[in-house]
């Protein structure tokens, strides 16, 4: 997935998704930075991120040469046709311009091309942007709404995937 994003300033960025296919240890620092800017508790240790990069499916969103987003998937143990998506994040300064939606579309397209049939995820019930993107925009269905061990409400969601053409290229996006 690739397109151009033109800011109000007139600067244009080349936006693209990249699926991490070969292990590159330098990505550990980049992804950890995005994660620490995003979540109140770190998702990763060095070991778990290294393992996910090697054995899961990480997709990055780039604006020119800067990684501005990351998203990770592993296969469900119970249902290997199903992906578990987690820790999707866009760098704070790049949010609210439609990039998260396009990024998620790119991730879902990649999973469908790899033969995955569905995807599940969990999201904090108070995370309005994420609930909106998953449920309203992408049609994820709610499987459960539970209080976790920390007393926080988590919504469990699932969506069936459809096969899509390779190398989808979307039109331009303008944003302030």
Where along the sequence are the contacts to ligand COA (CB under 6 A)? 38, 87-90, 95-101, 123, 127-130, 132-133, 136-137
Q: Which residues pair with 66 in a beta bridge?
A: 63
CB of 72 to ligand COA, least distance (A): 9
At which residue do the structure tokens 């609210």 appear?
Answer: 96
Indicate the residue whose CB is closest to ligand COA.
100
CB of 87 to ligand COA, least distance (A): 6
The beta strands (E) that lie in the chain are given as 2-7, 12-19, 57-63, 66-75, 82-90, 118-124, 141-147, 153-160, 173-175
CB of 22 to ligand COA, least distance (A): 25
Task: Between 135 and 164, name the residue whose CB sits nearer to ligand COA.
Answer: 135
Report yes or no: 99 and 69 within 8 Å, Cβ to Cβ.
yes
Task: Between 23 and 127, name the residue whose CB sits nearer to ligand COA.
Answer: 127
The whole-angstrom separation of Cα 98 and Cα 103 is 9
CB of 89 to ligand COA, least distance (A): 4
The whole-angstrom separation of Cα 151 and Cα 166 is 42
Task: Between 76 and 101, name the residue whose CB sits nearer to ligand COA.
Answer: 101
Task: Between 20 and 90, name the residue whose CB sits nearer to ligand COA.
Answer: 90
């Amino acid at each position: 997935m690739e397109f151009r994003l033109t800011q109000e300033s007139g600067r244009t960025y080349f936006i693209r998704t990249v699926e991490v296919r070969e292990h590159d240890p330098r990505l550990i620092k980049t992804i950890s930075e995005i994660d620490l800017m995003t979540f109140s508790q770190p998702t990763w240790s060095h070991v778990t991120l290294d393992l996910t990069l090697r054995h899961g499916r990480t997709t990055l969103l780039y604006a020119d040469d800067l990684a501005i987003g990351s998203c990770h998937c592993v296969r469900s143990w119970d249902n290997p046709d199903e992906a578990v998506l987690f820790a999707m994040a866009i760098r704070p300064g790049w949010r609210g311009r439609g990039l998260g939606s396009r990024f998620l579309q790119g991730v879902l397209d990649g999973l469908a091309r790899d033969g995955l049939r569905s995807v599940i995820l969990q999201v904090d019930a108070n995370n309005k942007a994420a609930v909106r993107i998953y449920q309203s925009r992408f049609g994820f269905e709610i499987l459960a709404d539970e209080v976790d061990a920390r007393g926080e409400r988590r919504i469990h969601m699932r969506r069936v995937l459809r096969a899509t053409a390779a190398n989808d290229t979307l039109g331009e996006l303008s944003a302030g």
